[in-house]
Structure 1
Amino acid sequence: MEGREILLAEPRGFCAGVDRAIEIVERALRKFGAPIYVRHEIVHNTYVVNDLKAKGAIFIEDLADVPPGATLVFSAHGVSQAVRREAAQRGFQVFDATCPLVTKVHVEVAKLHKEGYEFIMIGHKGHPEVEGTMGQLTDGIYLVEDVADVERVRLRNPEKVAVVTQTTLSVDDAAEILAAVKRRFPQVREPKKQDICYATQNRQDAVKLLAREVDVVIVVGSPTSSNSNRLREVAARLGTPAYMVDGPQDLRAEWLDGRQRVGLTAGASAPDVLVQQVIARLKELGAVAVRRMQGVQETVHFPLPKGLGDKSMNEAAAEGRFAP
């Protein structure tokens, strides 16, 4: 179609937690040399994981696969207390790349547990972040994935219950489930600030604006990425056809048939290089113009763990670590 236009969501792509996690692995590789072992994918993106593998990172699920004395990095999703204890017992040098916003949830759980609270966690079963948060306690924390699950929860003391949330959920879905929790347990204690992270919220808000302006939405993100999947769902719920691609090779020309304006965004774990490659492929398929939408400018930066140093936001930006 003549004159097809690409509209870029703002913000999109890497968030501060993802940027920090990748930087931890890269710095550990430079400082200690390959191999560096990483428990679980550092972030849920195929390109990022393959890039780090090529530099000498080895991704494992079982700590028994890590040799004694090795350097180990915990992924951005966080780990259970059992994993932390096992890593300490095995004597690894550990660097924790858990997103600080996930760590905040873990700290809240530990604090309120000491005060006698039980917990309802809103999240997706099997997601590593959920496993990490649930694994802060040995009992007294119950996972709910939808409104129906809320009815099945049985608490020892319904007067003393707190709610926590996976940080990468759909904001709208989480609000619906939270409302059901409050109806069933009116005394429930909520976090002072919602657990869904600023980057997840901002990217979903941007897609809501984008979806109303375009004929189709393309989300750059890997199938395992929770926040990327949620972006596709947000657009689809607004009635705009939406597709997720791991890279330009996944784009299909028929998605664009008869569609003049193409919306493009990326999940928080998807690097900007993939967005640029997708733009190039869209141009091959007939797009002639690229326009950025107005949106929130993110300036969040998380320091690195001790032993790996830190750098300024400007230095990180100069290296292209933050998408422009």
Structure 2
Amino acid sequence: MALPASVRLVEVGPRDGLQNEPEPISTEIKLELIERLADAGHTHIEAASFVSPKWVPQMADHSQVMRALMHEGKGRPDINYSALTPNLKGLEEALASGVQEVAVFGAASESFSQKNINCSIAESLERFAPVVERARAEGVRVRGYVSCVLGCPYEGEISPAMVAQVTRALDDMGCYEVSLGDTIGTGTPLKAKRMLEAVAREVPMERLAAHFHDTYGQALANLMAVLEEGVAVVDSSVAGLGGCPYAKGAAGNVATEDVVYLLKGLGIQCSVDLERIAAVGDWMTRTINRPNRSKAGVALSSR
């Protein structure tokens, strides 16, 4: 299949990228990051996670962040600011803050599901059904995530058929798009293609997105593999920030700067400006005293 003419990037840095940071990051810095990402050309920014502060202390200011974006002039009407809502309580808080899109997340691994959200895959899907139903009743779009699509820290190999089954369940539930997550970054290009082939037999390619972590340095190669299959939506995190609290040693999501550099080299259109996003990554990593994991970002910033 030919490469897509354009790719939509979903910037997950403010949520996925920051959720594991051990030191508190102020609401002001988070909002400035989101504003800079918008200035760089992002049209979809995952801004917060409405989870219990007990489990994810870094996201304790989720309501303040979303209210500032939706009601206090910090956001822009042409940008989609989304939030993670794992349960009805989180959804109600998100709705109260004016959110227009939410996300629910399941896993293709039974062990990971138990460790991550303390229930089986089937139970997790049962929990999400009323969340999706309530959100859609309020006119709020719902995006789905599937974790561990190319491997699990507890089970190892994950069957493409299981990934397809969970993806189909989220699609049937009413998610407009499902993002396929290599949570621990162990995937390789052939595995990624085979997984996607299985999923695309159940859910149309135009409703699928790629969410690849770079633990073993394979994220860009894996992205290339799925772009060739027709995936046209990619999740990325500025400066490669992030990781997973339930997957020890997992690196952050593929760096936005590196994805933009790749897309540019392939002649694929995307709304994000390379020089500007590199500057955002440089600023943010300096601000929170973290290494910049973007190869392209480091190269551009050191020129």
Kindly name which structure, 1 or 2, has the bigger radius of gyration based on alpha carbons.
1
Whether TM-score is above 0.5 comes out as no
If asked which structure has higher relative contact order (CA below 8 Å, sep 6+), I would say 1
Give TM-score scaled by structure 1 length: 0.30
TM-score normalised by L of structure 2 = 0.31
